[in-house]
Structure 1
Amino acid sequence: MRLHLLERLLGVAVYYDSFNDWLFLDWEGDLAQPAVQTAGVAVARWYLPRPYAWVLNNNALVTGGHRHVARWFAQELLPHLALAGAAHAAWVNAGARPGRRVGQTVRNGRPGPAINCFPDVDGAMAWLTHVPRALAQGSTPPRTFGHQGQLERVVHELGGKIAGSVPVRR
């Protein structure tokens, strides 16, 4: 991986992996809803300039998460990431039991990109690197002006729905 830090927020660091051409989300701690919502909107904003078909979502350092956080992530954020161009996500499960439930809840209760769960980053990377690139590219056509405007409105509305939409730096 060749990681370039895009943004650091409470609970997550957002990187672009220029070698693999994917977003790498590195979560940590006990994920409370306000922090996850703020981070989720920030991630969605990174999709405005360009689509990222692949996402490696690392929850290895997550110590806790609540069911309503997972529900919000699955129902409010992931459908928009699919609209933005995310086609495949490798989800590294948390080591702590409460955090592991989050990944399963998200995977089971959402429309959006194809998500596969893994116990470690190596397995997640192996899967993502073997996803056929043509398949993912075929699901993310270039955005039209109208589509870009729609995406910008959706991300703006999503940010307006959450409390404390100003990112909290860690």
Structure 2
Amino acid sequence: MQLRLIATTPGISIYYDEINRWLYTDWQGVHTQESSQAAGLLLLEALRQQPSSKILNDTSTIVSTSVDLSTWDQWWLRELVGAGLRYIAWVYPRLFPDRDATERILIHVKPMVVTTFDDVATACLWLQKQGVAAHPSSPTVALLS
């Protein structure tokens, strides 16, 4: 990966991978509903600034999270799709309880392609095989049940 930093806060760093033409998000530390929403807005802004149909979403260094799916999250997911997102390779947190929180959220995301992984390398290989890396012109994804 050849990464160019787009945005960073104490809880997330967002990069554009120049070679693979996707966003790489590196989540760190503790996340509450509020900090996750702030990071989510930063991610949406980054996706609009640097359009891509793919995100490598690395949550492996999250220490703790208390995030539940909300109306705001449904709006946010629709906005990501509207900005061109089609594929997410989601790297699980290393801590087991936070994997459960991830699963509770991901079960509601339909039919955008989201696949989970235990490591960044495997996630990267999968994402390289998905669709085209350029910004798609016609969104056709419905999100939440």
* TMscore range, shorter length: 0.7 to 0.9
Task: Find the counterpart in structure 1 of residue 24 from structure 2.
Answer: 24
The AA in structure 1 aligned to 2:74 is Q
Pairing of 1:5-16 with structure 2 (within 5 A): 5-16=5-16
- Separation of aligned partners in 2, 1:70 and 1:85: 24
Q: Compute the displacement of 1:74 (Å).
A: 4.7
Task: Find the counterpart in structure 2 of residue 141 from structure 1.
Answer: 137
- Separation of aligned partners in 1, 2:80 and 2:138: 15
- SS of corresponding position for 1:106: helix
- SS of corresponding position for 2:69: helix
Q: Compute the displacement of 1:111 (Å).
A: 4.0
- Separation of aligned partners in 2, 1:92 and 1:98: 14
The AA in structure 2 aligned to 1:21 is R
CA contact 1:15–1:23 (8 Å) conserved in 2: yes
RMSD between aligned residues: 2.2
Gaps of 5+ in 2: 140-145
CA contact 2:30–2:62 (8 Å) conserved in 1: yes
Task: Find the counterpart in structure 2 of residue 58 from structure 1.
Answer: 58
**Does structure 1 residue 118 correspond to structure 2 residue 114?**
no
Task: Find the counterpart in structure 1 of residue 142 from structure 2.
Answer: none
CA contact 2:14–2:43 (8 Å) conserved in 1: yes
- SS of corresponding position for 2:48: coil
The structure number with the bigger radius of gyration is 1
- Separation of aligned partners in 2, 1:10 and 1:18: 23
Percent identical pairs in the alignment equals: 28
**Does structure 1 residue 132 correspond to structure 2 residue 120?**
no
Structure 1 segments of 4+ aligned residues over 6 angstroms from their partners: none
Q: Compute the displacement of 1:32 (Å).
A: 1.1
The structure with more helix, counted as a fraction of residues: 1
Cα deviation per residue 1:107-161 (whole Å; 9 max; x = unaligned)? 211246310000000110010011132xx65x82079xxxxxxxxxxxxxxxxxx
Q: How has the CA–CA distance of structure 1 residues 52 and 70 changed in structure 2, closer, same or farther, with 3 Å as cutoff?
A: farther
CA contact 2:14–2:25 (8 Å) conserved in 1: yes
**Does structure 1 residue 71 correspond to structure 2 residue 69?**
yes
